[in-house]
Structure 1
Amino acid sequence: MMLRDWRSYPPLTLRRELLARGWDDRAISRAVRAGDLVRVRYGSYAAGQLWRSLTDAERYAARCHAVQRRAASELVLSHVSALPAYGAPLWGLDLDVVHGTRKDARAGRKEAGVQQHAGLLLPEDVTPVDGVEVMSAARTALEVTTIAPVEPALVVVNHLLHAGHVTLPELWARYGSTVTVERDRLGVVSPSATSMRRWPGSLRTELVLRLADGRCESVAESRLMFQCWDAGLVMPVPQHEVRDATGRVVARVDFAWPEHGVFLEVDGRVKYTDLVPAGETAADVVLREKRREELVTELTGWRCIRVTWADLQHPERLLARIRAALNGQRRAG
């Protein structure tokens, strides 16, 4: 699920700010009962009409802001809670908990839907986004891999790569980073920063980084890549270019198995609704897609598999289709 622009979240008003404007607790309670205000978290409020227009993911982002603003210690939004700053999808992630990392490095705790993490922060780990301190894209990506299953973690990492927020070499570098150790006054050697290889869940991190591919352009495409890997299928080539007899690129398909003569297109709702050009209808887009598929088939002789979001919900059936297409084309050749 993609989020609106980070700056479009509802402005939060704290209880102390309402009191400074002349409200009292009874007036606040009346406004909440009337629906004019919504209590985002204890002591934090948003305009009711705007709040009701938000998606679950956008409401989660607002709760993250509320937690940070009311935190007793300096808190950097981290893990899943830093993702809205990068417009990243939250598919398959737990949105019941707000994650923040304390800047004082003191022990973290979990209470009332908030998980405070304690960890050494390198100077490049923290970045301001529209006035809000969040983890860098590199550290955020790595943190998510330690607390989320592989499939949604891969979705996140691929998005951050595709959007240009981070590169794969940067992820590997931060994952294995170490700095010069220091000795305390007792002469005990202690690292001033540690590699994230030592973090709990880091075995998952290495797997996600090995699977990551910034050529995947959507949640559905990343999920398709993961499901192919999980089933042990030959991995497809993302965003494969198709050329005509002169060598000119005439089409680009979502995935291809050139050696098997098969290509695959992921049909998302957004392709036929949100991305319809001005002056066209969804039917125009569908027709253009059909003509493009016919052109690719004519030029390559390959067969096409079309996959929808619903197909991804039933991976056994989907993978059986893909496997049959790959095997069928090989036998035909």
Structure 2
Amino acid sequence: MRIDTDADELARHRAVLRVLRSDAFLCGRSAAQHHRLPIPPRLLGIIEVGVPDTSRAPRRRGVLGRALRVAPDDVVVDEVRVTSAVRTFCDLARDLSVPELVAVADALATPHPELARAIAAFPDHRLRAKLTEAARLRDIASESPKESELRALLRLAGLPVPRCQMVVTDDAGRFVARVDLAFERYGELLEYQGDHHRTDVRQWRRDRTREATLESLGFHVTDITQADLDQPRQLIERVVANLRRRGWGGAPRFSPWFPG
């Protein structure tokens, strides 16, 4: 699960590093772009650059400078000097919600024990609990950042744990679909729909046929969009109502990390 980063943007990052001191490195949002980790659009545009905390943070127009305490393996050379992917994940906790951090954690190739060690060693101890929660909710089976955010919201609301990327077959064993998230016990399926599902007519028609087939097999399908993620409490209310209609007797228990 990776995102594309504009080549011109990466060229800007390299150009900025060339005019700064030799120990400067990309960090935070810019390191995330370099590693092609998913970050929200609100973080794009400004180049984030760090230096060791023994130096003064860079001050330059269009640059967010940081003086950071870094271990020797926190900064790597990958065409440019940049924080490692796992250190970048930790630094992003300053700017991302827990669901957004889960999307980054899902995209990492880092084994969980290594991720846990990086969190334990992260210098900003105030963010370790937030990072630990994001790591706990990680599921590398996720195939898109928005699917990851949605799953994190469900978990942070105390709903049953959904199964990620469940394969559905018909009565004859033929493949029907692989769905984003499934409350398998209750036959409730959640599918994140990006804009291309709405604007591409062929895709829209395929989605409707697929949904009708799934419902003919006894499932109920709920489509989720960015508008739903932007109103997480209302989203959880809708999912809870659907689960209760299909036999769930529980109630949401919102974590302090639930956004809003």
The two structures share one fold, judged by TM-score above 0.5: yes
> Which protein is bigger by CA-based radius of gyration?
1
Question: Aligned partners of 2:174, 2:122: CA distance in 1, in Å?
Answer: 44
Give 1:87's aligned residue.
Answer: 36
TM-score, L = length of structure 1? 0.65
What amino acid maps onto 1:238 in structure 2?
C
Question: Aligned partners of 1:157, 1:92: CA distance in 2, in Å?
Answer: 18
Is the alpha carbon distance of 1:85 and 1:143 closer, same or farther for their aligned partners in structure 2, counting shifts above 3 Å?
A: same
Give 1:296's aligned residue.
Answer: 214
Give 2:252's aligned residue.
Answer: none
Give 1:245's aligned residue.
Answer: 171
Specify every segment of 5 or more residues in structure 1 that has no aligned partner in the other structure, as ranges.
Answer: 10-57, 177-194, 274-281
Question: Aligned partners of 1:308, 1:147: CA distance in 2, in Å?
Answer: 22
Give 1:117's aligned residue.
Answer: 67
TM-score, L = length of structure 2? 0.80
Kindly state the Cα deviation for residue 63 of structure 1 after the two structures are TM-superposed: 5.0
What amino acid maps onto 1:292 in structure 2?
R
Give 2:146's aligned residue.
Answer: 220
What amino acid maps onto 1:171 in structure 2?
L
Name the SS of the counterpart of 1:330 in structure 2. coil
Specify every segment of 5 or more residues in structure 2 that has no aligned partner in the other structure, as ranges.
Answer: 250-260
What amino acid maps onto 1:139 in structure 2?
R
Give 1:15's aligned residue.
Answer: none
What amino acid maps onto 1:133 in structure 2?
R
Give 1:255's aligned residue.
Answer: 181
Tell me which of 97, 102, 113 is aligned to 1:149.
97
Is the alpha carbon distance of 1:267 and 1:95 closer, same or farther for their aligned partners in structure 2, counting shifts above 3 Å?
A: closer
Give 1:185's aligned residue.
Answer: none
Give 2:254's aligned residue.
Answer: none
Kindly state the Cα deviation for residue 253 of structure 1 after the two structures are TM-superposed: 0.6
CA deviations on 1:64-116 (whole Å, 9 max, x unpaired) are: 4343222124112112220111222321654475433325x514436444222
Relative contact order higher in (CA < 8 Å, ≥ 6 apart)? 2
How many residue pairs match? The answer is 246
Question: Aligned partners of 2:123, 2:243: CA distance in 1, in Å?
Answer: 37
Tell me which of 226, 231, 234 is aligned to 1:309.
226
Tell me, yes or no, if structure 1 residue 268 matches structure 2 residue 194.
yes
Is the alpha carbon distance of 1:172 and 1:246 closer, same or farther for their aligned partners in structure 2, counting shifts above 3 Å?
A: farther
When the two chains are superposed, the root-mean-square deviation of aligned CA atoms in Å is 2.8
Contact 1:92 1:152 in 2 (8 A): no
Is the alpha carbon distance of 1:97 and 1:204 closer, same or farther for their aligned partners in structure 2, counting shifts above 3 Å?
A: farther
Is the alpha carbon distance of 1:114 and 1:147 closer, same or farther for their aligned partners in structure 2, counting shifts above 3 Å?
A: same
Q: Percentage identity across aligned positions? A: 28
Kindly state the Cα deviation for residue 248 of structure 1 after the two structures are TM-superposed: 4.9
Contact 1:99 1:117 in 2 (8 A): no
